[in-house]
Structure 1
Amino acid sequence: MSRLDAHHHVRRPASAPPSATGPGPRRRVHEWLDAPGMAPLRRDFTLADLAPVALAGGIDPTVPVQVLPDIHETAEFLMPATAGDVVAGVVSWADLASNDLAGTLHALRAAPGGDHLVCLGHLVQGEPDWGRLNRPTVRRGLRTVAQAGLTYDVLVVPHQLLAVVTAVRELPELTFVLDHLSKPPIARGELQPWASLIRELAALTNLFCKLSGMVTEAEWHRWSVAALRPYADVLLDAFGPERVMLGSDWPVCPLAASYEEVVDVAEALPAELTAAERSHVFAVTAERAYGLGERDGRGRAGDGGPVGLDR
């Protein structure tokens, strides 16, 4: 069975030592790497670094996800996608509040690697105004994303989910992807109110979710499949395997588990799924949500409508 990693990163942090990997995106500051315990991540991580660990985990191809909200990073982030067949599509960033977002997207698609642009995203979790998705200027930008035939990735924490519910409900023309299950409090073993909000979101068919980022939300050195299972069960029961996709969150995941362990956990958690349902979690859902394999030179092929269960 083909297996696809729908969420990983590549980066060249400014705090890293000089790279021996050759030319690539310029170094930029990742402030979150200054937090305690982040030292192992203060170095370069490239597609060349990912290739052997992904191969060992039986993964091919992948979807890299941009982290920094920097349009210059976006252009540089897309370029490596042109090398080989490793990258199926790219989740990048652009300013949703820009008055010329459509022009920006056109320029990105015309640039090297632009045909791999399938989705935009933003780390809403770090925003002081966690209701930013519902600002009028951002709403206008999200409609532009939909008109461009792109998907939108959103990373929030549980207390921000109500804002996501509103945005997803009021923008049925746009396909959304929720990252990392919205980071439930796995380390504390709490399910509510996260589980209820997830079920409310799952009722909206223009939203998909990533089975990703779980091991780093658990206790890094004491996690177990049993501790993760209740959260995976809620997700799969609410969304169904047709709307859930695997993501490794590499290179963050090795803080708690190796790449292979993350893939093994994803195999173990949906124990009751049929082979066809597993194929959705491990490949088909991501292909569908991001329109992978449907690019027509303009990025994700589409008619401006959402990729919902009714299509």
Structure 2
Amino acid sequence: MLFDTHLHIVDRQALDYPWLSGAGDLNRDNLYEDYARDALRCGISNVLHMEVDVAPARIDDETNYVREVGRRQGSLVRGVIAACRPEEDGFAAYLERSAADPFVKGFRRVLHVAPDDTAARPLFRENIKRLSGTRMTFDLCVFPHQFETILALVDHCPDVRFILDHCANPPIKDGMSEVWRKGITEFSRRSNVTAKISGVIAYGDLENWSVESLRPYVEHTIGSFGWDRVVWGSDWPVCTLGGGLAPWVAATHALTSGCSPEERDKLYQANAKRIWSI
């Protein structure tokens, strides 16, 4: 069974997504019902919803929307990784409120679309440090050219648990990058970082990707972090641009076919259950 740590629900009737107008084929509704139909067929048993960069004024509305999805009979949704703005005043109060809500499991601020200096700003760094010693995780979605700044953030917050999304967004379509390869190694040396095996389809040839085209990136990430510090995510609906949920699940099984049942279980679900106490 798989624990999906990276589902995006998009409901344009319920919430506002300023970025969607420039998102091409993703500019559509992608509802939980559409995901769940395939997820159940693929053996997914638990899900965390990942924030979808809604309009800042709608952040709490997104969490409450997903909460209602989680309350439906038979829902797979166990919690949310909520949006946040650590670069702004008010984060401390938001954290305190969220920490009292067991449905909120962590936070993400999408940094690969933010100014490159965002994570270097003193207020941002100090606000992220407030997560130290809490049950909350912080997801990092960054590009390789931002690695130096993000590594400095991780070092500034050694007691915060970070999740590195999408194998750190490797530029697969352009071939193996030394910046990415060395960056993964550096991130893995920080014991407070866990890598998420997700999203890699989007960085290759969407129409012609193969298991073998993904293998060097997935294997380098898992080899660097080890089986105790990796989790799995679908990145649905982004994965639908490269074929859908079922092909990505099949690729995951193929990529790990030579691994032990214990190793696969850690990646597939056990580590996620431990990290988020589910």
Calculate the TM-score normalised by the size of structure 2: 0.91
1:56 paired residue number = 41
Q: Paired residues, what number?
A: 273
How far apart are 1:101 and its partner, in Å? 2.1
RMSD over aligned CA atoms reads: 1.8
**What is the distance in 1 between the residues matched to 2:231 and 2:21?**
27
Q: Which residues of 2 match residues 211-230 of structure 1 at below 5 A?
A: 211-230=197-216
Is structure 2 residue 101 aligned with structure 1 residue 117?
A: no
Identity %: 27
**What is the distance in 1 between the residues matched to 2:21 and 2:228?**
34
**What is the distance in 2 between the residues matched to 1:147 and 1:73?**
28
User: Contact (CA 8 Å) 2:184, 2:224: kept in 1 or not?
Assistant: yes
Deviation string, structure 1 residues 187-210 (Cα, Å, up to 9, x no partner): 122231211110011011100111
1:30 paired residue number = 18
More strand by share: 2
AA aligned to 2:28 is: R
Q: Which residues of 2 match residues 104-143 of structure 1 at below 5 A?
A: 104-108=94-98, 114-128=101-115, 130-143=116-129
Q: Which residues of 2 match residues 5-44 of structure 1 at below 5 A?
A: 5-13=4-12, 25-26=14-15, 28-35=16-23, 38-39=24-25, 41-44=26-29
Is structure 2 residue 264 aligned with structure 1 residue 250?
A: no
How far apart are 1:147 and its partner, in Å? 4.8
Closer/same/farther in 2, CA of residues 166 and 109 from structure 1, 3 Å limit: closer
Closer/same/farther in 2, CA of residues 33 and 195 from structure 1, 3 Å limit: farther
User: Contact (CA 8 Å) 1:67, 1:122: kept in 2 or not?
Assistant: no
How far apart are 1:77 and its partner, in Å? 2.0
User: Contact (CA 8 Å) 2:110, 2:142: kept in 1 or not?
Assistant: yes
AA aligned to 1:120 is: F
Secondary structure in 2 aligned to 1:215? helix
AA aligned to 1:104 is: Y
Deviation string, structure 1 residues 3-47 (Cα, Å, up to 9, x no partner): 11111101123xxxxx6xxxxx33x13325424xx23x2221222
**What is the distance in 2 between the residues matched to 1:116 and 1:189?**
39
1:87 to 58, 73, 77: 77
Calculate the TM-score normalised by the size of structure 1: 0.82
User: Contact (CA 8 Å) 1:88, 1:292: kept in 2 or not?
Assistant: no
More helix by share: 2
User: Contact (CA 8 Å) 1:33, 1:42: kept in 2 or not?
Assistant: yes
Which blocks of at least 5 consecutive residues in structure 2 are unaligned? Answer: none
1:162 paired residue number = 148
